[in-house]
Structure 1
Amino acid sequence: MIEAVMLWNEPNNKSHWDLALDPDWFLFAEMVKGASRAIRTENPDLPQVLGGISPIDPHFMRTMIGQGVLDGLDAVAVHGFPLDWNLWQIHDWPSKVAEIRALTHLPVWVSEVGVSSFGAEEVQAWGCARTAELLKGEAPRIHWYSLYDLPREWEATTRHKEAEGSSYYRHFHMGLLRQDGTPKLALETFARHTPDLGICQWFHYDDHRLDDAVAWLKRLHVTHLRTGLSWADSFRPDALGWFDRQMAALQDFAVTVTFCFTPEHRGISPHHTSPPLVREEFAEFCAAMVRRYAPARGRIAASALLPTA
């Protein structure tokens, strides 16, 4: 079920990592290396991917290479939204992937790519088709973001919220389905490109959309899914109950699980973007999740021999 784990999300984006607290990413690098070692101890064969970078920045990747982060990983990833947020054109996708591919021997995944329907649904449908044309064959995994629009009652994960103007509100129009679950024009376009295109869909704690999402993913013939298990959510009541339900519901897909989000009370600053006070705690969370949902084959076989209660 779990085909890979991803360590953090957009670490070079201020909305996901506090660069004021870690301007050279040293704390991030040490945290990821520790988590990677802990995961290898639990399952040495489980592929590990560096959290997708946004913006696509060769300088950041060189920094990770220089700090030895990529030495223990199996792939790197990039995110791009040229019709909404990036300062480059959609036609530049192949060259953007090539920029990062030139720096490392590791495969380069596109773990988030999308187009909002903020301006017009026709723009999203065209963007989906053009993205598929440009990226199929360029990356071993392509995850379209996302299946559902973000509900307007929730907050988008950005640093400055409404002060960002239209850039903020575009976050609520990235889905192939509207908030109420009805299809947009791009849904049919997307369906013509599965299973080459997978989906990135973040599920919030106790997300009411989970079962409907699974039904839609199967209907669309999606085989590869990227989602997250939040370290911050692990401190909520019955967190393991929610994690178990989420992972059981997704068992028919090849899932890339992203580990991210610092619990406020365990950060240097009380925010999910903060480096942790004790970085080994993130490694312990990652190891526990792998032990629970992606144990090594030998450990699965051994557990089958244990007596049941």
Structure 2
Amino acid sequence: MSHPRFNPSAVLPKSILKKINGPAADTAPAHAPAHAPARAPARAPPRSATALAPDPREQRNREIALYHANLIQQQKDTEARILDAIIQLLDFPSSPDADPARPSDADASQFLSLITDFQPSDYDSLIEERKCADLCAYALCPKPPYVNPKGGKKKFIIGKGNNLTILPREKVELWCSEDCARRALYVKVQLNEEPAWLRRGGVIDPLELLAEKPTSTPEAESTRHVENLHKAMANLALERGEGKISSKSVGLVKDTIIEKEDVAPAPAPSAGDLAKSLAHMDIEGYEPHTDTAGNLVERDADGDWVL
């Protein structure tokens, strides 16, 4: 069986797809001009010299904003530094057997360095934190605070000159003794009220601890005891009349009693003196009379009372 041959002269079947006749890509539209001019890119107008200069008001506002931003950052840094110092001071002193009256040089210098930025309110926070840790509020004392076993909400404190002060119990039971309270408050009164981030030029007043009284040696204590004993024995001998009167007793009142010698008779009172002495007995100018028995007798001038 032979296959059919392709005849090029034969008419091809018509396609069912609709052909869209559009303008050619290389041909311009009928309404377009023959030659369209090319447009140059737009250039920004040149800025004048006055436009390049910054606005003084904006510059001032920018400086103020930067100042306050730096101030807030300094405040945050200082508060963080104070908080770290309080945490470090909870572990003070370095030795559990340290003497608060004579602390070590390392502890004393570090303590004063840590509280340089403190205000009195920050020092109060340190006192409260040490109280919660069951430690004496004085940072250089390792002892626990004194607790009154009798209880009570108030405590009476007798100061110098019999001055009586009534304080809450929680304000008193912060220290192990009155000496530590005096040492801690001596440091507190030296702190600056102004915040550390507002102090001009970083001026820092040097802080110092309370100067303790010099301790005496055993030899000095023995010598003072002997001197006091000699003074007591001399005073006792003077009371018995055995000792000599010292120069300090010159001008003092003597205890010698001497009878006054006065043998002259006393003068008799006169009638005028007697009338003056009875003047206080007058009642609105009326002088009451007395009988022989000493009883007061009232008599009318006309005597009409006689029966």
TM-score (norm: length of structure 1):
0.21
Q: Which has the higher contact order (CA 8 A, sep 6+)?
A: 1
Higher strand share: 1
TM-score (norm: length of structure 2):
0.21
Larger Rg: 2
